[in-house]
Amino acid sequence: MKALIQDTIERCRAAGLRRTKALEELIRTLLENGRPMTLAELATSEHLADQCDKATVFRLLQRLAEHGIIRRLGLHERAAYFTLLVPGKHSDYLICTGCGTIESIKAPCPVHALEDEIREKTGYRNLYHELEFFGVCPKCA
Amino acid sequence: MKALIQDTIERCRAAGLRRTKALEELIRTLLENGRPMTLAELATSEHLADQCDKATVFRLLQRLAEHGIIRRLGLHERAAYFTLLVPGKHSDYLICTGCGTIESIKAPCPVHALEDEIREKTGYRNLYHELEFFGVCPKCA
DNA sequence: GTAATTGCAAATACTTTGCCACGTA
DNA sequence: TACGTGGCAAAGTATTTGCAATTAC
């Protein structure tokens, strides 16, 4: 784990970021938790809370995302997205990270087998999934 | 398409919602666009703009979501989630819609083939994907 | 020394609610 | 008539920015 933290900080350094206490703690917190976290969670987490301001964490996340070291999950707009559920139909999406276009994918979704497996193994109820592909569309490239 | 709109409105009626102009237009707009949309997009879209207030659209979306007729995409919290990208590793997630717990899935991701196919067929660059499973965990059930 | 980074506070943006008027059943 | 629904305006929460002070290199 320590090595992984160091590696990641090295990648930050290589990207031109400075090695600050806030950066180290942010990386450490994310790696130790091993799951996606919100800005609020991060900024109030044990080691970051008294270490730095929420704005600092925000700007760090922003910089790290620019350099591809972290990723902001979801449809990349500040607003929430809603979609109609049509019985018997399921759709996955292809989103351009440049212009934000969202289109449905017609191809059959390859995830159902895994979904069944998860249902059995974990005991989760009312299981469903969301699958999104992100990339830069030909127009934006 | 018209039939689909009517069907959906019928499902709303069956769920106990009243048949109002705003409801009809909202359903129609979502179906005609065939993609996830934001509250702002919906509230300012041609047929809804002069039809009703943004608060109305918001409460409609809320009600429809409660009845399982629409779905709000994303990790179901208002805040954005960030995750570290570790080279060579990819993770999919299992999220409990009850308590909000997020855990990583170890199972190999079944999506890479489709991702390759999309890369070829659409010409999108820098393609990656996000896959999330949602359900009610045993504790919350 | 210089440019990146930080803290604090203020400004935005999106979401959500209160309250009373209105329309559907 | 009764209760779900709608409009308007205000409140709530998350995100983002300005600027002067600080720190890494």
pLDDT in tens, B96-137: 999 999 999 988 899 999 999 999 999 999 999 999 999 999
Percent of chain B residues topping a pLDDT of 90:
89
Nearest CA in chain A to B78: A80
B72 touches strand C (CB under 7 A): no
Pair B65, B107 in one domain: no
Q: What is the pLDDT of residues B31-56, one digit of tens each?
A: 999 999 999 999 999 888 888 999 99
Cβ-proximal residues to A55 (8 Å cutoff; 6+ apart), any chain = none
Residue nearest to nucleotide C13 (CA to C1'): A78
**For residues A120-127, average pLDDT:** 96
pTM of the model: 0.92
Q: Tokens 């954005």 identify what position? A: B80
Task: Kindly tell me the number of DSSP H helices and DSSP E strands found in chain B.
Answer: 6, 6
Domain that holds residue A104: 90-141
Q: What is the pLDDT of residues B52-78, one digit of tens each?
A: 999 999 999 999 999 999 999 999 889
Pair A49, A100 in one domain: no
Q: What single string gives the DSSP state of each residue in B10-41?
A: HHHHHTT----HHHHHHHHHHHHHTS-EEHHH
* Residue A37 with chain B: CB contacts under 8 Å: 81-83
Q: For residues A11 and A8, give the distance between their C-alpha atoms in angstroms, rounded to a whole number.
A: 5
Pair A80, A110 in one domain: no
Pair A45, A17 in one domain: yes
Quote the pLDDT of residue A61. Answer: 98
A58 touches strand D (CB under 7 A): yes
**For residues A105-120, average pLDDT:** 94
Q: What single string gives the DSSP state of each residue in A46-57?
A: HHHHTT--HHHH
Nearest to A42 by CA among A21, A57, A32: A57
Q: What is the pLDDT of residues A15-42, one digit of tens each?
A: 999 999 999 999 999 999 999 999 999 9
Pair B66, B114 in one domain: no
CA–C1' A88–D10 (A):
42
CATH number of the domain enclosing B20: 1.10.10.10
Pair A129, A81 in one domain: no
* Residue B127 with chain A: CB contacts under 8 Å: 133-135
CATH number of the domain enclosing B102: 3.30.1490.190
Sheet of strand B70-72: strand arrangement: B37-38, A81-84, B70-72
CA–C1' B44–C14 (A):
14
Q: How many domains does chain A have?
A: 2
Quote the pLDDT of residue A77. Answer: 87
